[in-house]
Amino acid sequence: MKDQTKSKTGASVNRLEGALKVMGKAKYSSEFAIDNLAFAQGIQSTISAGKITSIDTSLAEKQEGVIKIITHENALKLKGYGGRFEEPDTKSISPSLQTPDVHYYGEYIGVVVAETFEQARYAANLVKVTYAKSEPKFIFDEHLDELYMPKEINDKAKTNTQWGDVEKGLKDAYKTIDVTYNTPVEHHHPMELHNIIATWEGDKVIAYASTQIVAHAVKTIADTFEIPEDNVRVITPYVGGGFGSKLQLREHGTLGIMASKMIGRPVQLTVTRHEMFTAVGFRQHNRQHMRLGADKEGNLTALSHETSAATSTYEEFQEPCGAISQTLYNTPNSLVTHKLMKLNLPSPRWMRAPGEAPGSFALESAMDELAYKLQMDPAEFRIKNDTQHDLSVDKPFSSRQFVECIRIGAEKFDWKNKWKPTPGHTKKENWLVGYGMSGSSRQSPYMESSALIKLKLDNDKVQVTVQTDATDIGTGSYTIIGQTISEYLDIPLEQISVELGDSKFPKTPGSGGSWGAASYTNGVKVACDNAISTLKTLASTSEDLSVIELMKKADLTEFEAKGTAGPTEEFENYSVYSFGANFCEVWVDEYSGMVRLEHFVNVGSAGKILNPKTAYGQIIGGITWGVGQALTEHSQVEPNHGNFITRSFADYHVPVNLDLGKIDVIFLPEDDYIANPMGVKGIGELGITSIAAAIANAVFNATGKRVRDLPITPEKIMKTKIEVA
Amino acid sequence: MRPFEFYSAQSASQAVVQHTKNKETHYLGGGTNLLDLMKEDVKRPEHLIEVADLPYKDIKSTSEGGLALGAMMSNTHTANNTEVKNKYPLLSMAILAAATEQIRNMATNGGNLLQRTRCPYYFETSMPCNKREPGTGCGALDGENSKHAIFGWSESCVATHPSDMSVALAALNATVVVQSENGESRRIPFTEFHRLPEDRPEKDTTLSDSELITSIELPKSEFPTHYYYLKVRERSSYAFALVSAAVGLQLDGKTIRKAGLALGKVAHKPWKLEKVEQFLIGKEATKEVFEQAAELALQDAKPLKHNAYKIELAKKTLVRALLQATSRS
């Protein structure tokens, strides 16, 4: 039997699809050459609130190649629209073009279908729209009196949670802080544009759609067009990043599918980079009021985390910023609240580490501020307040190596020798050098997931094909699924073919929320286990023979097995989280206020790392996101018109390589089989959590300036005053 | 993108003649700016005349001992040219601070000077902008203007010129050579090439409608040793400046004999600091002197609602660039 050590889980295997991607042969959803394909281009509103009074399409219709122009006047009537805000089912329905109402600037109010993309785009510019404007609201500070507490947040999470008495805890504290942090609107901007190609045959539709969750896209399409789910096929073999923006198929999906149905031809609608600022969601602006208290020894006496944010006028969404404040530290008195206002902006949505990304910036900055007040080492302050029990749900953690992450990170970074409690302690020429750290955690969900494996005996070799509707959003799903098969069937990777992203394959929860890897691989493992046990029965043996021997013995040349895995009762009795710690060194130019990230050390404890190579990549990507959150990313709303005036990559600044410096990623070994049978935890969100806080804390250590509004731009460094310790 | 007619010109004079025939005609160089604007429906030319392949792609010595940079030469070739690097390193440094390698490979020298503002109101066709559509008003004046002008703006426009290369050319006292409609060539001192918005912000330069840039002339090398281009921006690469400073100094020991100075992204044109250049002559190259110079440079600055920080930032940027230039040897 050949040893598969190098291709099993835990090995740094190169991406199975890497060569295809490099050669441009990995087919993304917009790259399927469908016969007779027509192209659609959306028309967007140019007011923030009001009603369309007329749409003149006459000039546009006369242009060469134009097939049809669809507006609310002639669109297919879809069910489920009736004041979207109150509609409970809207999370699976994406109605569009159903009324003349305009909710935000850049809303799709029509679509032009033409023979070519260029013709569609040109004609879209010729459509003349007149409006009856109403008074829009889009400036957060002007509507603070309209804040309300939503019934639930983030899909069934509690709005308010508390224990003990925070006011008393603050009163009894030796030192307290009371500060407010702001994080701006940020956009996901995956490299691959959102896209759909729709083609109908009778009442059946095939959609090549860039989506993170195939089964969800199927349900959305079926619900919106009132056809059975069996009539919908969604295909998405490769996804060029999603970061939450592709969890749901949104209005562009509806428009593409509707257009195809109306013209009786396949239609492609690709959302442009500019439209991605309004069409596919974003992270909402969050204002977080933090009040913390601690006793003389550095034990937290109170932790209050109150968040205000804005949702759209037509859909309620709030990310759970305060959640991390009730799981990361031990506090006898806790208060977490969330409030919303409704603004004429597009709906915010889930974006990488929804809740934790902004929430951890507030919490881990506040912890840092309190540590300075207590004159304690910020790393020791965090260790002091560790808890092995999840106070928010009164359950033990399945495993928690938070303190180990901090200790090992501090050692690797040489924290004890570098960090000093006096800001501005180190200067190198024109650079102020500072050090900062933060702790992090993120829930690691585990969901029901199925897979089908097909074995074929061929020239004395077993060829394996595995099929699931899982998606590879750039994270390495193909590779880790291949490695799982290689491990549990003991077959080399070269004989394994992984097929993903098709709704005709067995269901998974898709990629998102750090649940993908753990869920898929356990489903695939069960399919492997089922294959072996069934083969043993068919071969009438109880010996541990190889797959090939079992197939021969059972006289089989082909064989299939299915498997489904999912959380057990034991899983529900624990809180399952990944943990981490971050340490960084920044250099701040005393003249310009430009911040340079010199060195970043990230330590994570996240169960079994299936493939260190792809996992490091994911964490480095997460850190890069955190650098963007900390230093560069900011979508600005125009104060008189309500549109995003950061409208391309030229002005929405994601970090570039030169912004990053040296990054070290360390994973601690961790066996946690409560999390799931393979002991896998998610890392997709952990990578970004608390990164911005570590950088902001280092900027404070360098300059004595506490910039509480992200991003930390040269302008803000210039405007912020040095704080007296 | 709107349909357009495309011509490929064989000579500068042919291009100019062709250009005079129709309104709504544009020259097309590397296309790194114009094609974006056409896709966004900001620019709607009906005729494009390709000039990128005209024979102005080299660098020649001038009779005055300077260099003439071909207008159709790429930014990359210009910045990496040995003579440019040796005699005008400030120009190389400024060009390389701009955009990305891929964009610099396509961008031409002439086109760089003619790139349009990055003001978001100019790019968004549904918002008011006098530069894009005269008479519609300036959206930025009462809107978001944190990255806009602190010098020379008017009620009709507060936009800034985005070029890095142009800031160095202003410091270096370059001359723009153009082919005119009458078949003659015309020489425009760099400080007179770009204009302030006044009440005609749609016009960025003093070129007449059909004039075509053929070369950019640099005087005899003056600042080969003490120079610096400092670009302050929100990320380390591929970002337009918040403020930039191009600095060239001639030093005799610690004494300044000559200075070439300009600020970028503070006005509708590269902001040449002639008064400060004069002030520095004969002074010692010290931080204190540079701070006085920066005060002088910014004394006439006039902020908008959101950009007062740029005044302080520009001072610090200029001081830092002068210090860097001094310490080079």
pLDDT digits (tens, 9 = 90+) for B22-63: 999 999 999 999 999 999 999 999 999 999 999 999 999 999
CA distance B71 to chain A (A): 25
CA distance A641 to chain B (A): 8
CA distance B287 to B265: 24
Domain at B226-327, CATH class: alpha beta
CA distance A716 to B309: 9
Residue A713 has pLDDT above 90, yes or no: yes
Chains A, B: CB contacts under 8 A, how many?
96
CA distance A281 to A644: 12
Tell me the mean pLDDT in the region A3-7. Answer: 74
Residue A658 in contact with partner chain B when CB distance is under 8 A: yes
CA distance B264 to B88: 18
CA distance A310 to chain B (A): 20
Q: Round the average pLDDT of chain B to a whole number and report it.
A: 97
Residue A92 has pLDDT above 80, yes or no: no
Residue A2 has pLDDT above 60, yes or no: no
pLDDT per position as a tens digit, A299-341:
999 999 999 999 999 888 999 999 999 999 999 999 999 999 9
Tell me the mean pLDDT in the region A202-208. Answer: 97
**Cα separations in angstroms, A498 against A26, A290, A564, A668:** 13, 47, 17, 29
H helix intervals, chain B: 12-21, 34-39, 75-80, 82-87, 89-96, 101-106, 109-114, 120-123, 165-171, 190-193, 274-280, 287-298, 309-327
Give the containing element (helix H, strand E) for A370.
Answer: helix A356-374
CA distance B53 to A142: 55
Q: Which structure tokens are listed for A189?
A: 């901007």
Helix (H, G, I), strand (E, B) or coil at A354: coil
Query: Are the C-beta atoms of B104 and B75 separated by less than 8 Å?
Result: yes
What confidence score (pLDDT) does residue A6 get?
82
Contacts of A274 in chain B (CB under 8 A): 40
Tell me the mean pLDDT in the region A208-219. Answer: 96
What confidence score (pLDDT) does residue A86 get?
42
Select from B43, B46, B118, B124 the residue whose CB has the most chain A CBs within 10 Å, as the one to mutate to test that interface: B124
Residue type, A122: Y
Residue A184 in contact with partner chain B when CB distance is under 8 A: no
What confidence score (pLDDT) does residue B2 get?
84
CA B268 to chain centre: 10
Give the containing element (helix H, strand E) for A336.
Answer: strand A334-343
Helix (H, G, I), strand (E, B) or coil at A668: coil
Strands B47-50 and B67-70, how do they pair?
A: unpaired
pLDDT per position as a tens digit, B108-126:
999 999 999 999 999 999 9
**DSSP structure class, residue B116:** P
Contacts of A594 in chain B (CB under 8 A): 232-233, 236
What confidence score (pLDDT) does residue A91 get?
58
pLDDT per position as a tens digit, A491-515:
999 999 999 999 999 999 999 999 9
Partners of A307 in beta bridges? A288, A338
Residue type, B164: D
**DSSP structure class, residue A589:** E
Residue type, B291: E
Residue B282 has pLDDT above 50, yes or no: yes
Query: Looking at the domain that runs over A447-566, which CATH code has it been given?
Result: 3.30.365.10
Residue A125 in contact with partner chain B when CB distance is under 8 A: yes
Active site residue A558: no
pLDDT band per the 50, 70, 90 thresholds, residue A85 = very low
CATH 3.30.365.10 matches A152-185+282-444+573-719: yes
Partners of A22 in beta bridges? none
CA distance B210 to A306: 61
Residue A133 has pLDDT above 90, yes or no: yes
Contacts of B127 in chain A (CB under 8 A): 638, 641, 643
pLDDT band per the 50, 70, 90 thresholds, residue A83 = very low
Residue A88 has pLDDT above 50, yes or no: no
Query: Are the C-beta atoms of A611 and A16 separated by less than 8 Å?
Result: no
Give the containing element (helix H, strand E) for B21.
Answer: helix B12-21
**Cα separations in angstroms, A352 against A189, A629, A644, B329:** 11, 11, 20, 48
**Among A497, A460, A462, A489, residue whose Cα is nearest residue A563:** A489
Contacts of A640 in chain B (CB under 8 A): 139, 142-143
Q: Say which residues have a Cβ less than 8 Å from residue A319's Cβ, sequence separation at least 6.
A: A153, A154, A283, A284, A286, A309, A348, A350, A351, A354, A355, A358, A359
CA B285 to chain centre: 27
What confidence score (pLDDT) does residue B245 get?
98
Select from A591, A659, A709 the residue whose CB has the most chain B CBs within 10 Å, as the one to mutate to test that interface: A591
Domain ranges of chain B: 5-52, 226-327
Helix (H, G, I), strand (E, B) or coil at B317: helix
Residue A421, preceding bond cis, omega within 30 degrees? no
Tell me the mean pLDDT in the region B286-313. Answer: 98
CA distance A517 to A365: 30
Which residue spans of chain A are classified as CATH 3.30.365.10? 152-185+282-444+573-719, 447-566
Which residue spans of chain A are classified as CATH 3.90.1170.50? 29-134+193-239+246-277
What confidence score (pLDDT) does residue B329 get?
72
**Among A515, A454, A524, residue whose Cα is nearest residue A488:** A524
Q: A29-134+193-239+246-277 has which fold?
A: Aldehyde Oxidoreductase; domain 3 (3.90.1170)
CA distance A456 to chain B (A): 48
**Among B74, B228, B68, B47, residue whose Cα is nearest residue A591:** B228
Q: Map A442-502 to HEC letters.
A: EECCCCCEEEEEEEEEECCEEEEEEECCCCCCCCCHHHHHHHHHHHHHCCCHHHEEEECCE
Could you tell me what percent of chain A has a pLDDT over 90?
93
What confidence score (pLDDT) does residue A158 get?
87
Test B1 with A122 for CB contact under 8 angstroms: yes
Helix (H, G, I), strand (E, B) or coil at B252: strand
Tell me the mean pLDDT in the region A410-422. Answer: 97
Residue A73 has pLDDT above 50, yes or no: yes
What confidence score (pLDDT) does residue A156 get?
75
Q: Distance between the two ends of chain A, CA-based, in angstroms?
A: 66
Residue type, A389: H
Pick B5-52's CATH classification: 3.30.43.10, 3.40.50.920, 2.60.120.10, 3.90.1150.10. 3.30.43.10
CA distance A178 to A171: 12
Report the interhelical angle of A691-703 vs A356-374 (nearest 10°). 30
Contacts of A653 in chain B (CB under 8 A): 234-235, 239
CA dihedral B131, B137, B141, B142 (to 10 degrees): -150
CA distance A390 to A398: 10
What confidence score (pLDDT) does residue A725 get?
58
Residue A228 has pLDDT above 60, yes or no: yes
**DSSP structure class, residue A348:** P
CA distance B81 to B69: 10
